[in-house]
Amino acid sequence: MTSSTTNRRVLSTSPFQSAAPEPIEPFEVNDLLTHDRHGMGRVVAVGPDNKIHVDFGGGARTITLPNPKVTRL
């Protein structure tokens, strides 16, 4: 017998299902947010590939979304 993962069926009640990806919250320039490590900041630019540039007061940092440490205010 051969083992093939492409033909395996996943039951809807299986606890081993892959988790659905988190929805990405859209940010715009001048949105306020908090970061668990850096504190409060303001979005200064929105880049490609789900990246935002945030000014936390000590300089801008790039954050890739979704990020569990980021909360919109």
Model confidence at 41, pLDDT cuts 50, 70, 90, reads: very high
- Report pLDDT for 58: 86
Q: What is the DSSP string of 34-64?
A: EETTTEEEEEEEEETTTEEEEE-SS-EEEEE
CATH of domain 26-73: 2.30.30.140
**Residue range 50-55: mean pLDDT, rounded:** 94
Instruction: Record the tokens describing residue 46, joined without a space.
Output: 């929105």
In terms of Cβ atoms closer than 10 Å to its own Cβ (0-12, 13-18, 19+), residue 35 is middle
> Who contacts 22 (Cβ-Cβ below 8 Å, separation ≥6)?
66
- Report pLDDT for 27: 93
Domain boundaries, the chain: 26-73
Letter for the amino acid at 37? Answer: R
DSSP lists the bridge partners of residue 71 as 34
- Report pLDDT for 38: 93
